[in-house]
């Protein structure tokens, strides 16, 4: 087993770190307060190749491995987890699925601009009554000649307002239940397609989340991704990779919490000495560091399996389950170490807690990850 990163991976990590510190960090507090979408940053991320990291150069991507993607996701999320999720959805849930399952038409017309960062993507699976129980899709796509006619509603869609292309899971055959679900690519501006109001969220406030509505929305049949009836498999397969991205996002938050805790404990004095001299603080910091490294090992393992073309769905679920849990714990510990200062906006640790919580919810709640892991272990699937 080799724990060394390659020269290329180290270079990606460094360039993501530099970009995050120079371009993302300075305005992150204002964006969080104002819930402002980081449009300029997303544009630059695209120009640098961070929005199509794993897509082959043939389709406008950077042709990198999943380990490099994890490294970049950690560095970006360490500074602003909102930017992290925007990047993760475009890479893992949109570009990956289109390269893997899209037709040549889809790749030429949609994947290339998405991978180059000229366009932004969104993934529309959740509905008001189909969140964790994702097979219960009510949105329909009825065939009418060369078109599908979509009707229904989607909820909690990341990049919902700002995306250009939406991968919509909809039922093309109600009788076939989840085997009748298909993935259809809908362009912003299509008649009958509209977005709801932007959600006012606890954390990751500068990423935009909204509902989508489809009312007799006509989309050409050539915008079908993969085959009719394969939409649920499409969603599950892309979410496996997405969970690696969210695990990396959570690690970024946890690592930021750890670094903030170390810095503050070496500055803050109490009882005549810096608080880093107290064992209560030292042990907290040790535990945080062990958690961050364990989360990294789990996440790099899942990424390495994916890169090797092996099965990785259980390992991705483990990585997300653990990394999201410790992100919340590390943020809480960082707040505790900061005392009263940790509870106010002056220091960033209160945002880390708000941002961390969502990683236990989206792309499959922690309960769903446990379901996936236990089913794999008990041979239920």
The answer to whether residue 89 forms part of the interface with ligand CAA (CB under 6 A) is: yes
Angle between helices 81-88 and 349-357 (to 10 degrees): 30
Segment interacting with ligand CAA, rule: CB under 6 A, options 49-57, 75-83, 189-197, 360-368: 360-368
Q: Which of 96, 101, 123, 165 binds ligand CAA (CB under 6 A)?
A: 123
The single residue listed with the structure tokens 């446990």 is 370
What is the rounded CA–CA span in Å between residue 358 and residue 355?
A: 6
Secondary structure (DSSP) of 299-344: HHHHHHHHHTT---HHHHHHHHHHHHHHHHHHHHHHHHHHGGGGGS
Q: How far is the CB of 209 from ligand CAA (least distance, A)?
A: 7
The answer to whether residue 237 forms part of the interface with ligand CAA (CB under 6 A) is: yes
C-beta closer to ligand CAA: residue 206 or 240: 240
Segment interacting with ligand CAA, rule: CB under 6 A, options 27-35, 44-52, 118-126, 268-276: 118-126
Q: How far is the CB of 106 from ligand CAA (least distance, A)?
A: 20
Segment interacting with ligand CAA, rule: CB under 6 A, options 8-16, 74-82, 261-269, 366-374: 366-374
In this structure, the number of other CB atoms found within 10 A of the CB of residue 60 comes to 22
Determine the length of the chain.
Answer: 381
Which candidate in 187, 346, 363, 367 is catalytic? Answer: 363
The answer to whether residue 304 forms part of the interface with ligand CAA (CB under 6 A) is: no
Beta-strand runs (E) in 162-291: 165-171, 181-187, 193-198, 209-220, 224-225, 269-270, 273-274
Q: Is there a contact between 102 and 224 (Cβ–Cβ < 8 Å)?
A: no
Is 363 considered catalytic here?
A: yes
What would the x/- binding string for ligand CAA be over residues 305 to 344, using CB under 6 A?
--------x-------------------------------
Q: How far is the CB of 207 from ligand CAA (least distance, A)?
A: 9
C-alpha distances out from residue 130 to 4, 12, 137, 154, 253, Å: 42, 37, 6, 9, 28
C-beta closer to ligand CAA: residue 226 or 313: 313
Q: How far is the CB of 247 from ligand CAA (least distance, A)?
A: 13
Q: Which of 41, 54, 87, 239 binds ligand CAA (CB under 6 A)?
A: 239
The answer to whether residue 374 forms part of the interface with ligand CAA (CB under 6 A) is: no
Q: Which of 59, 214, 234, 362 binds ligand CAA (CB under 6 A)?
A: 362
Q: What is the 3-state secondary structure (H, E, C) of 48-92?
A: CCCCCCCCCHHHCCCCCCHHHHHHHHHHHHHHCHHHHHHHHHHHH
The answer to whether residue 232 forms part of the interface with ligand CAA (CB under 6 A) is: yes
Burial of 83 (0-12, 13-18, 19+ CB in 10 A): buried
What would the x/- binding string for ligand CAA be over residues 38 to 67, using CB under 6 A?
------------------------------
What is the rounded CA–CA span in Å between residue 229 and residue 243?
A: 23
Q: What are phi and psi of 189, to 5 degrees?
A: 95, -10
Which of 136, 141, 149 has its CA nearest to residue 177?
136
Q: Which of 178, 198, 218, 354 binds ligand CAA (CB under 6 A)?
A: 178
Q: Which of 54, 55, 74, 368 binds ligand CAA (CB under 6 A)?
A: 368
The answer to whether residue 206 forms part of the interface with ligand CAA (CB under 6 A) is: no
Q: Which of 72, 112, 134, 217 binds ligand CAA (CB under 6 A)?
A: 134
What is the rounded CA–CA span in Å between residue 168 and residue 187?
A: 10
What is the rounded CA–CA span in Å between residue 232 and residue 213?
A: 20
Q: Which of 91, 158, 182, 223 binds ligand CAA (CB under 6 A)?
A: 158
Mention every residue, 6+ apart, whose C-beta is less than 8 A from residue 87: 45, 50, 51, 72, 73, 76, 245
**Sites of contact with ligand CAA (CB under 6 A):** 85, 89, 93, 123, 125-126, 132, 134-135, 158, 178-179, 232-233, 236-237, 239-240, 313, 362-364, 368, 371-372, 381
Question: So which residues are the catalytic ones?
Answer: 363
């Amino acid at each position: 087993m080799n724990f060394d990163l390659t020269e290329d991976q180290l270079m990606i990590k460094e360039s993501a770190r530099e970009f995050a510190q120079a371009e993302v960090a300075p305005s992150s507090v204002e964006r969080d307060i104002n819930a402002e979408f980081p449009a300029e940053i997303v544009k630059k991320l695209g120009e640098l190749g961070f929005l199509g990291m794993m897509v082959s150069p043939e389709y406008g991507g950077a042709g990198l491995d999943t380990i490099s993607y994890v490294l970049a996701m950690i560095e970006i999320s360490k500074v602003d987890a909102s930017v992290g999720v925007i990047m993760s959805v475009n890479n893992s849930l949109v570009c990956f699925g289109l390269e893997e399952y899209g037709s040549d038409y889809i790749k030429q017309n949609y994947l290339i601009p998405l991978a180059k960062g000229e366009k932004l993507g969104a993934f529309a699976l959740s509905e008001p009554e189909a969140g964790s129980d994702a097979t219960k899709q009510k949105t329909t796509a009825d065939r009418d000649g060369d078109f599908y006619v979509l009707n229904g509603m989607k909820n909690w869609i990341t990049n919902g307002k700002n995306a250009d292309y939406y991968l919509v899971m909809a039922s093309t055959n109600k009788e076939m239940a989840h085997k009748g679900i298909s993935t259809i690519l809908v362009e912003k501006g299509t008649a009958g397609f509209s977005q709801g109001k932007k959600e006012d969220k606890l954390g990751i406030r500068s990423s935009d989340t909204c509902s989508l509505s489809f009312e007799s929305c006509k989309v050409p049949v050539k915008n079908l991704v993969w085959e009719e009836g394969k939409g649920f498999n499409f969603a599950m397969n892309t979410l496996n990779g997405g969970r690696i991205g969210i695990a990396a996002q959570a690690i970024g938050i946890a690592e930021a919490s750890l670094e903030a805790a170390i810095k503050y404990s070496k500055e803050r004095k109490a009882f005549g000495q810096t608080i880093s001299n107290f064992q209560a603080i030292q042990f907290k910091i040790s535990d945080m560091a062990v958690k961050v490294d364990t989360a990294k090992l789990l996440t790099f393992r899942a990424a390495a399996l994916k890169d090797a073309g092996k099965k990785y769905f259980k390992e991705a679920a483990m990585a997300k389950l653990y990394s999201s849990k410790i992100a919340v714990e590390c943020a809480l510990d960082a707040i505790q170490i900061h005392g009263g200062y940790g509870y106010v906006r002056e220091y960033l640790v209160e945002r880390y807690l708000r941002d961390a919580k969502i990683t236990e919810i989206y792309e499959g709640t922690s309960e769903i990850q446990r379901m996936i892991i236990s089913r794999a272990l008990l041979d239920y699937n």
